[in-house]
Chain A
Amino acid sequence: MPAIGEAIYFRNKVPWQSPIPASELVTVDQARSWGDSVIWVDARPDNEFERDHIPGAILLNEDRWNELLPQFLGQWSPEKQVVVYCSAQSCNASREVAKRLREEAQLKNVFVLDGGWEEWLKNKR
């Protein structure tokens, strides 16, 4: 009986599929499979973003954090997944931005793109 009660109470909260913890990386394929429910966040410097970026990505880097964060939050939506990327596997900017979005803005569903922009370009072809 308690198990049935729990099942009813948590019916909307049980991870039916393998869950992706908010702190983990996502691959390009995983993020793409989410389709329109993804908000791409480009954590690279302004000039790299201007050169090229994932279509629809929003610029949010720590160089201009105070200015860009409110702009991003104006476009954020709670039902969407946020995927942050920087230049490559070796860069740290996406992790930092993702961490600050979770901690300072208290957003959930914030992920880091594994391999960053480099990986996106490889998968684009």
Chain B
Amino acid sequence: MNKNFLKLIGIVALTALAQGARSELKWEQTSVDLKPALGDKQAVAHFKYENVGKTPVHFKSVHASCGCTTAQTQNEQVAPGEKGEIIATFNIGGRTGTQVKTVTVQTDDPDTALATTVLTLKAVITPLLELQPALVYWQNGEEPKPKIITAKANKDAAIRKLDVASSSPDFTAKVDAGSAPNEFKISVRPRDTTKAVYATLSIKPDSPANAANIFAVAARVLPPAPTAAPASTPAIKSTLSTIRHDLATPAPTVASPSQ
């Protein structure tokens, strides 16, 4: 009985010693909410930590969830009592809306639960300009009526005017005020719909703070619809397959839907 009791005390004492000697990285926060300014190219999150244990901590790996995010440690080793941070840089690119990216950090902590930490970076990206649709197209031979692209400018961007330039003289574009504040209607029209043509429409807001931001949409006159082939050919099969898969897709010989 006494022997068992002494064994128990010994185990408890050893465990307490091991706990006291162990390393432990304590994070100030593992989740960061970012609100990048309009037109920002990057969002940077700082995840601060401190080694509150008694032994050094080594970073084994720091891995971001996507290629759009990079993460850097200041040192590979964190001494007891030392503070530092992992800097996660999210390259916004053309992304919009709420973006959640993670960085997984692995240390040499023997406790597997503490060895892996997932840091979360959340960024809400407000677009400067929302364009819809990003494509207007006409079937070959369709009446060359104008089609409208709606541009909604961010209310904080103070955009009063849009300049639209077509990469091809085959299309003309005109900008009018939309039905709501900060809204524009871009009216696009092909000169001719008897030949397949394509243009990129570059849209430049007049906002001086965002002069570098140029947006683009596409305008096309499609090539003539493929002529009817014998029923057994792959061309017909693929057309039928398209109809089956999507009720809203018009048959190739029908004029394009309103966009």
Contact = CB atoms under 8 A, between A and B. Distances in A.
B135 interface: yes
Contact of A105 (B66, B135, B200): B135
Nearest to A48: B67
Interface string A2-17: 0000000000110111
A22 interface: yes
Nearest to B223: A77
A91 B216 contact: no
B68 interface: yes
B147 to A, nearest CB: 11
Secondary structure of the A contact surface, majority rule: loop
Contact of A70 (B133, B216, B243, B248): B216
Interface residues of A, number: 44
Contacts of A92: 66
A93 B95 CA distance: 10
Contacts of A64: 93-94
B241 A12 contact: no
B222 A78 contact: yes
A69 B198 contact: no
Nearest to A15: B244
Interface string A75-118: 01111110000000001110010000001111111000000000
A76 B241 contact: no
Contact of A66 (B216, B222, B239, B247): B216
Interface in B157-211: 198, 200
Which 4 interchain pairs have the tightest Cβ spacing?
A65-B94, A73-B218, A63-B93, A37-B238
Interface of A: 12-13, 15-17, 19-20, 22, 34-37, 44-45, 47-48, 61-67, 69-70, 73-74, 76-81, 91-93, 96, 103-109
Given A22-B245, A78-B252, A103-B132, 12 more contacts: A34-B241, A35-B238, A36-B238, A47-B67, A62-B68, A63-B67, A64-B94, A66-B216, A70-B217, A73-B135, A78-B256, A91-B66
